[in-house]
Homo-oligomer: A and B are copies of this chain.
Amino acid sequence: MKAKVIITPKPEVLDPQGKTVQTALEHMGCTGVGEVRVGKYIEIEMDGDADTVKAKLSEYADKFLANPNIEDYRLKLED
């Protein structure tokens, strides 16, 4: 099954990349742009049923895929 981990910078963390994208969009004439945050998107093929995959991935997301000091994450499973 395919699992997805979406990792975003915590709200209080400075996100220079997001800021740059925002400014660049404005410069290109894209109006009405508010805050932009840039994070990561990880797709993982994994054996097992939804519960096992979820359990495993939360473990590895907590300790490896995301850094809790600066990032939040969400898991999504596809079927």
Q: How many residues in A have their beta carbons less than 8 Å from beta carbons of B?
A: 32
CB contacts under 8 Å to B, within A31-57, are 31-48, 56
A77 proximal to B (CB < 8 A)? no
Are B6 and A33 neighbours in the complex by a CB distance under 8 Å?
no
A30 proximal to B (CB < 8 A)? yes
Give CA–CA (A64, B28) in the complex, Å: 10
Where the two chains meet, the residues of A that have a C-beta atom closer than 8 Å to any C-beta of B are 6-8, 18, 21-22, 24-25, 28, 30-48, 56, 60, 64-65
* 7 A-B pairs with the lowest CB-CB distances in the bound complex, closest first: A34-B45, A32-B47, A41-B41, A39-B41, A37-B43, A35-B45, A36-B44
